[in-house]
Chains A and B, each alone.
Chain A
Amino acid sequence: MNFMLFSPALFILSGLCALLLHKYNKVSNCIGAFGVVTGCIAGLVSLFNAYTNPESVALSVPWSIPYGSFSIAIDAIGAIFLFPIFILSAVCAVYGLEYLRHYYGKKNTASAWFFFNLLIASMILVVISRNAVLFLIAWEMMSISSFFLVLFEGEKKEVAKAGLIYLIATHIGTLFLLVMFVLLGNEAGSFDFNRYQITAGGLLPSIIFISAVIGFGTKAGFMPMHVWLPEAHPAAPSHVSAVMSGVMLKTGIYGLLRVITFIEAPCAWWGYLLIGIGMISGILGVLFALAQHDLKRLMAYSSIENIGIISMGIGLGILGISTQNPVLAILGFAGGLLHIVNHAFFKGLLFLGAGVVLHQTGTKEIDVLGGLLKKMPVTGFCFLIGVAAICGLPPLNGFISEFLIYLASFKNILAEPSIAIVSLGCIASLALIGGLAVTCFTKVFGIIFSGEPRSSSCQNAHEPGMLMIVPLIILAFACVAIGISFPFILPKADRLLADITGISPDLIRTVLSGTMNPLIYITTAGLLLYSGLFLFAVLRRMLLKGRTIDSVPTWDCGYAKPDPRMQYTASSYVQPIVDFFKGILRTQKHGCELIEYFPDSSSFKTKTSDIFQENLFAPILAFIHRCAESLKWFQHGKLQVYILYILFTLVALFIWKL
């Protein structure tokens, strides 16, 4: 166990060292990254220890903070979150080593390492802490350190705005968590997690659950509490965006799962609620993603989509527990949890890939890029794997987790109508999300990596150094490996599922062995696919041997002088869908009215802003602003009058006590 604490300590220590040595860019950079990598390896080792002998992993020390105790433990639920945290953080640290080199002399990279290391340490602490006070401290540390990372380029106006939105949103979330923990602590008479045990029935469990959904959902990015996400993720440096999107959002899901274990039996409507949130986040997330022009903003919306899929899986699981349907419970949770790990890998990969594009071309505007596959073949190949995985295509990892959620739904089509209708809703939403995701990510890959460069920014692009490429390769390999080897991994998840669902391990093993058959077939089909690929490629090569292979310009129906500007753009590619959903997306278009027969220069611009921010939060904030405005006569900053207020108050109190 002490070994487990060793890794956060190492993170913080190396972060501090990096900060102290900030004058020597290279040294502090190396210390920061080295601390993360060794800390993560130590963490993985202790995670493996915890798996082999689960009894040895708890520690509880009294603490001087009121209601606090320094209790930590690792259990199966924590482990499934720690695993991606360690892997993705290590990989991103290596990547950051080269990524931040670009900022030497311009920025304080040492402070970036300090906050990065602090962020990872606090994420680990969030997952292993077993006391509400400790949890909230770690939670707050996580929010603050990521806030400073978002502000890395804080001199830019939009970055400063993004940081502010993030800070406010995350604290509104924390507010609900505070309420929730106080309610829980009040009931249990302690703030230690192992004392929390809420019996079912009454209003209290539901109030706690709703606070958890709002509080943790704000961090996770449930719609409509997601508004900070598309602002903050594009602003942070790419390796930080990868960690934030890949694993930090998931701490919200972790909190929700942890709270569910406190409550004796969940109600069915919680499941319906989470499924509903999942459908809305999933469909709207991907719709908004495909309308974006900024690569990293697009990725942020796609994270909301994936959080939606995870939420659907967990919702089905809760529905399964409350209706005593073990198959639904186990498959729903298994799909949701696997998607958590999978999303960490492929979204991490995509954010790091987007970082390479940004690093090499200086822009994240999709419409000015193009033809990058020729200039960076390895990055492009890894990015392609990430894109295919996030679309849920077989035989990659994204397909497996979506398949488990599909399977949970299909198995319950035959149940009574209320559950059957929900299951059908899940199937239809997942299918719609799948179709839209294919649109969104073929656009991303096709416009950025294929075709001809659309502007001069792509001219000097080339493959980055090994430190940035190797992380991409590792993550891409993980996506392929999980996709093929999942039947060997699933049986190991019995303890995890038992902890969450409260179903007996024997029953879980029975259900899981029933799921093995489909999974083995999927692996077989995957291998068949790879061998088919090999076979057809070899056949093509054999047939082409000795024949002429010509190279000419793209035919384009006979244009004599094709120009890169003639190519389809990202906006034109998605225009039919954006127009079809214009009631939701409300894309604003500027320009493009051709009046004369020979129009000269013209411009066209589209922008899709967030409807929830524009139509829900902006009016509320404006209202608060107006109310505050009307209090201005009272709060004007004149010190003398404030002293007068104090005097009046004292006199009033004096009279009251008299």
Chain B
Amino acid sequence: MYAKVTQLILIFLISPFLFGVINRIKAFFAGRKGIPLLQTYYDIFKLLRKGAVYSKTTTWIFIAGPIISLSALVCACAFIPFAGHRAFFSFEGDIVLFIYLLGLARFFTVLAALDTGSSFEGMGASREVQFAVFAEPALFLSLAALVRITGTMSLSDIFANTTINTLTTLDPAILLVIGALFIIFLTENSRIPVDDPNTHLELTMIHEVMVLDHGGIDFAYILYGVAVKFWILGTLLMSIIFRTNSGIVFFDYAVFIFGMIVLAVAVGIVESIMARLRLFKVPNLLIVALALSVLALTLTMRI
């Protein structure tokens, strides 16, 4: 029990740190010094100290949106294993609840965006739901492939059984799932090549434009929610690729956290060397993820 609570607290404490890492990497590629590693924490605390400005058009949905989204994401954390150790909650089929909690967060982010009546936010919301239509089946199928590979049905069991060892036996199905999950990870977290988290005002943005009118405490909730979501989806990836099973709990934890930092570095590198895709090409990218997971499933059907 203590271990599980410690895991949750670690997730809640560390997740905003990863954005600092990404920014440092991008700054390094651009030849800049970069913002402090702890900038996300500073931002959140600064926002929590602010008052509020609301549009006359908005209703309580606008305020409820960030609150509900953050609760859903925090709730989803309870189902995420940490360093291959069992999550706070786990049961057969928790995959479904987990993905639908992410869906709930998205649903209210979108509604809060539409509540402003701004055409920019409508545009962002429209794109967000469009990409989700493709990303959700891809996520379901790639996790289904892992179910088929490991023979277990909860996130905790799946990631307890897929370790670096499964990788070294080089099951091609696992490699395909990793590819699919990486694409989904970038999409769901609104990173390049799907979305650009840096510029708030461009017409081409998706997530950032949806939260354009939010400020103060509401925006702090959103920012923190985004950080937690980054951790949650990153875990799906790094629990397969980067963790040890040494028996010493704190060593495992440290290795896993280091793995998440490596993931942030990888995201930073992708963002530095790649351009954003044209918007109408994004569905094609997501269909690639879908195809990879279907291919992985096909491989597991071998007798």
Contacts and interface: CB of A to CB of B under 8 A. Distances in A.
B119 interface: yes
B273 interface: no
Interface string B145-187: 0011001010000000000000000000000000000000000
B70 interface: yes
B245 interface: no
Contacts of A451: 57, 114-117
Nearest to B109: A442
B297 interface: yes
Interface in A515-543: 517-518, 521-522, 524-525, 528-529, 532-533, 535-537, 539-540, 543
Nearest to B302: A417
Contacts of B201: 557
B255 interface: no
A544 interface: yes
Interface stretch (B31-39, B134-142, B191-199, B229-237): B134-142
Given A550-B54, A573-B122, A406 B96 contact: yes
B10 interface: no
A374 B92 CA distance: 42
A424 interface: yes
Interface in A427-444: 427-428, 431-432, 434-436, 438-439, 442
A575 interface: yes
Contact of B127 (A521, A529, A576): A576
B144 A442 contact: no
A283 B124 CA distance: 24
Interface in B258-290: 280, 283
A374 B59 contact: yes
B144 A568 contact: no
B27 interface: no
A450 B216 CA distance: 22
B141 A554 contact: no
B107 interface: yes
Interface string A436-467: 10110010011100111000000000000000
Contacts, number: 249
Interface stretch (A259-267, A350-358, A392-400): A392-400
Given A431-B137, A536-B221, A576-B127, A567 B117 contact: yes
Interface stretch (B16-24, B44-52, B246-254): B44-52
Contact of A549 (B52, B95, B107): B52
A28 B38 CA distance: 72
B291 interface: no
B117 A439 contact: no
A537 B119 contact: no
A553 B57 contact: yes
A541 to B, nearest CB: 9
Interface residues of B, number: 80
Contact of B104 (A393, A413, A537): A393
Contacts of A575: 126
B118 interface: yes
A572 B55 contact: no
A410 B148 CA distance: 9
A543 B221 CA distance: 13
Given A393-B103, A528-B75, A413 B148 contact: yes
A511 B174 CA distance: 32
Nearest to A565: B119
B103 to A, nearest CB: 6
B53 A552 contact: yes
Given A556-B120, A575-B126, A410 B144 contact: yes
A630 interface: no
A517 B154 CA distance: 12
A176 B19 CA distance: 63
B250 to A, nearest CB: 27
A139 interface: no
Contacts of A576: 126-127, 130, 280
Interface string A304-318: 000000000000000
Given A417-B301, A428-B141, A442-B129, A452 B106 contact: no
Given A428-B137, A529-B71, A557-B120, A446 B115 contact: yes
B125 interface: yes
B72 interface: yes
A392 B137 CA distance: 15
B89 interface: yes
A392 B100 CA distance: 8
Interface in B66-97: 67-68, 70-72, 74-75, 78, 89, 91-97
Interface string A147-162: 0000000000000000
Interface string A408-420: 0011011001001
B243 to A, nearest CB: 24
Contacts of B126: 568, 572-576
B217 interface: yes
A577 B55 contact: no
Contacts of B137: 428, 431-432, 435
Nearest to B66: A536
A604 interface: no
Most buried by B among A431, A522, A535: A431
Contacts of B212: 555, 557
A517 B120 contact: no
A370 interface: yes
B133 interface: yes
B107 A407 contact: no
Contact of A399 (B54, B63, B100, B303): B100
Contacts of A540: 63, 67, 217-218, 221
Contacts of A550: 51-54
B104 A410 contact: no
Nearest to A381: B60
A536 B136 CA distance: 27
Nearest to A417: B301
Given A392-B100, A543-B48, A555 B122 contact: no
Nearest to B147: A413
A420 B75 contact: no
A371 B55 CA distance: 13
B106 A438 contact: yes
Contacts of A406: 93, 96
Contacts of B151: 414
A517 B92 contact: yes
B112 to A, nearest CB: 9
B25 interface: no
B294 to A, nearest CB: 8
Nearest to B117: A451
A562 B56 CA distance: 12
B132 interface: yes
B257 to A, nearest CB: 24
B187 to A, nearest CB: 13
B111 A435 contact: no
The winner among A392, A522, A539, A548 for most chain B CB atoms within 10 A is A522
A554 B57 contact: yes
A373 interface: yes
Given A407-B96, A532-B70, A547 B144 contact: no
Nearest to A542: B217
The 9 closest A-B pairs by CB, nearest first: A568-B122, A446-B114, A532-B71, A451-B117, A547-B51, A435-B133, A431-B137, A554-B55, A450-B115
21 contacts: A377-B59, A393-B104, A402-B96, A410-B93, A410-B144, A410-B147, A411-B93, A414-B151, A428-B137, A435-B132, A439-B132, A446-B110, A446-B122, A447-B114, A529-B101, A536-B67, A552-B54, A552-B56, A556-B118, A567-B122, A577-B129
Interface of B: 48, 50-59, 61, 63-64, 67-68, 70-72, 74-75, 78, 89, 91-97, 99-101, 103-104, 106-107, 110-111, 114-123, 125-127, 129-130, 132-137, 139-141, 144, 147-148, 151, 153, 201, 212-213, 216-218, 221, 280, 283, 297, 301, 303
Given A438-B110, A452-B117, 5 more contacts: A384-B111, A403-B93, A450-B114, A566-B119, A574-B126
